[in-house]
Amino acid sequence: MIRSSEVGDEPPLRVMALHALLYCERLFYLEEVEEIRVADANVYAGRRLHLERLPLDDETPEYRSLEVSSDTWGLLGKVDAVRKRDGQWVAYEHKKGRCHRGDNNEPLPWPSDRIQVIAYAVLVEEHLGEPVRQARIRYHADNVTAFVDIDDAARADLRAAIERARVLRNSTERPPVTENERLCVKCSLAVVCLPEEERLLARHNDGEEEEPPRLFPSNRERHTLHVTSAKARVGRSGESLIVETEEGKQRIPIEQIDSVLIHGFGQVSTQALHLCAYRNIGVNWLTFGGRFVAGTSASPGRVQQRLRQYRALTNDELCLELSRRTVHAKIESQLRYLLRASRGDPANRQAVQESIDRIREALRKLDQAAGLDSLRGLEGIAAKAYFAALPSLLSSRCDPLLLPHGRSKHPPEDRFNALLSFGYGMLFSLVHRTLLGVGLEPSLGFYHQPRSAAPPLVLDLVEIFRVPLVDIPTIGSVNRNQWDPAADFTVAADHIWLSDDGRKKAIGLFEERLNENYKHPFTGQSLAYARIVELEARLLEKEWTGASGLFARMRMR
């Protein structure tokens, strides 16, 4: 038995945490230490199974969904059922899947299920004050029951599991990815852990050609709710958001939303914010011009993640390496786009050739850059050459009012720059809420410095995606004559902004781009651009969690 003095002031362990521990120590750490939990379809199916069980007859003594805890063991949980069998209490667990099979094909519990039901049995025994000598696990996919004896060996295994859990809970480092690849296929946190990306890197380093399974989702499961009306109000009704505008009301189920963007002065009720926070849905506010103002975070408690990030990004060598890779990705994407856009047109290629040569020269010097200031200088040279070439990529049929006059930012001084600035603002918001969702601290960056209110890490990651997510679709839309210079823009004395109609067009263009698929150069998986942004954020964290070399391999073809 674990003594009270050994448990001390540590918070109790959830019995389900022990189940995760025996399944995969990395899963346990992510859920219990970093407090990252994802309820996928399998989890919801298991919950429905528990709710839909048929009751036994009235003569069978039974407890359902019994909450049990013990200060002595330092455990708490909710057992599915406790029933009398032949005068003895028996703890029951129900599982949606299949059982393990022994040498004679007899049904056996999986190790994680076994330790879970042992824990429930000893807690029930203490709760009822009567012995519990057996536990049973019902596997509904096989329609069989596995039996577990609650003997000295079972209690010893439980003590060992609790001790291991306590060691991991006090550790500051994530355990390695499990060697059993089959466990990852059904794991709800595979999208967070990214085990296949680590294995892919190891295989590439070893010269192996075999590809791991693709566990990272390829497409967006939900979409962003953009609120553009100045007098809009977002409220809540049950599990839906209600958007009220001058045109009427719209109900959007919360399951369909991954984030909320308020453009301008729309109002959001406290009830709506609570629902978004509970569902880990970020709410961002942008000005009418597209400048990011603020965003909510629904990922508290991830202290170890922030500590690892802080330790890593105070390492000057690592920051320089990550910065060099980021700038290389940005400049190379600019170069490839200019080459691709001018291919097959000698006159066009000649017009941008000087810019191409300057960008290539900047690329060649990146590896010799001794510090961040040198990198910024090379990035600036490439950017100046790149923006100088952009007018040559616009069709001769474009309205002259849509042609850019250099790069103007705060505020934009022409219509083309108004489109770029608005697009960059939405990209900034996307990266900001993605980083928060991953659990990283946006204010701790590696390349940009905290000279303004803009979080440096957001600016760092934005650089990789400016060309594919904003520049290319913007130039394409201008060449397709999708913009009305009069109706889609608001012209003031010192700036030009998008009008209400223009903002709606720009939002549609950006969202359409996020849903387009692109084959990631390293993983080889075809992903929606919105998923690629999330993938890069998670690969960045792997730079200081045991799998370096994966970040910033995103390139335009």
Check whether 360 has a pLDDT greater than 50.
Answer: yes
Taking CA atoms, 282 is separated from 189, 274, 350, 421, 430, in Å, by: 20, 11, 46, 22, 10
Which residue matches tokens 């040498």? 103
Neighbours of 48 (CB within 10 A): 10
**Confidence (pLDDT) at 5:** 42
| Residue 96 CB contacts under 8 Å (≥ 6 apart), including other chains | 42, 45, 46, 49, 140, 141
Check whether 368 has a pLDDT greater than 80.
Answer: yes
- 173 or 318: which carries more pLDDT confidence? 318
Confidence of residue 533 (pLDDT cuts 50, 70, 90): very high
Domain coordinates of the chain in residue numbers?
4-186, 223-295
Return the SS3 of 281. coil
Phi/psi of residue 100, each to 5°?
-85, 155
- Report how far Cα 300 is from the mean position of its chain's Cα atoms: 15
- The CA distance from 492 to 486, in Å, is 12
- 513 or 182: which carries more pLDDT confidence? 513
Confidence of residue 324 (pLDDT cuts 50, 70, 90): very high
DSSP assignment, residue 73?
Answer: T
- The CA distance from 500 to 487, in Å, is 9
- 436 neighbors 428 (Cβ within 8 angstroms): no
- For the domain spanning 223-295, the CATH number is 3.100.10.20
Confidence of residue 209 (pLDDT cuts 50, 70, 90): low
In this structure, the chain runs to a length of: 557
Phi/psi of residue 391, each to 5°?
-55, -30
What are 286's two structure tokens? 């942008």
| pTM, full prediction | 0.81
Average pLDDT value for residue range 272-287: 91
Convert 75-116 into a string of H (helix), E (strand) and C (coil). EEEEEEEEEEECCEEEEEEEECCCCEECCCCCEECCHHHHHH
- The CA distance from 328 to 464, in Å, is 9
Average pLDDT value for residue range 70-82: 93
User: If you average pLDDT over every residue of the chain, what do you get?
Assistant: 88
**Confidence (pLDDT) at 86:** 85
- Residues 424-449 as b/e (b if ≥16 CB within 10 A, e otherwise) read bbbbbbbbbbbbbbbbbbbebbbbbe
Q: What is the per-residue pLDDT across 36-63, written as a single tens digit (0 to 9) for each?
A: 876 544 554 444 454 444 444 445 678 8
Query: Both ends of the chain: CA-CA distance in Å?
Result: 61
What are 158's two structure tokens? 């439980």
**Confidence (pLDDT) at 21:** 94
Domain 4-186 has CATH 3.90.320.10: yes
Bridge partners of 282, per DSSP, are 259
Taking CA atoms, 502 is separated from 370, 390, 424, 506, 508, in Å, by: 44, 21, 15, 6, 10
- 311 or 46: which carries more pLDDT confidence? 311
| Residue 363 CB contacts under 8 Å (≥ 6 apart), including other chains | 328, 331, 332, 335, 382
Neighbours of 108 (CB within 10 A): 19
- The CA distance from 178 to 26, in Å, is 7
Q: What is the per-residue pLDDT across 372-423, written as a single tens digit (0 to 9) for each?
A: 999 999 999 999 999 999 999 998 889 999 998 888 777 888 999 999 999 9
Secondary element (H or E) of residue 224:
strand 223-227
Q: Which percentage of the chain shows pLDDT scores above 70?
A: 90
Question: Which of 301-305, 373-377, 446-450, 517-521 shows the lowest mean pLDDT across its residues?
Answer: 301-305
- The CA distance from 58 to 557, in Å, is 68
DSSP H helical ranges for 391-519: 415-438, 456-466, 472-479, 500-515
What are 262's two structure tokens? 């308020």
Average pLDDT value for residue range 231-259: 93
Check whether 451 has a pLDDT greater than 90.
Answer: no
Phi/psi of residue 25, each to 5°?
-65, -30
Q: What is the per-residue pLDDT across 211-222, written as a single tens digit (0 to 9) for each?
A: 656 667 788 888
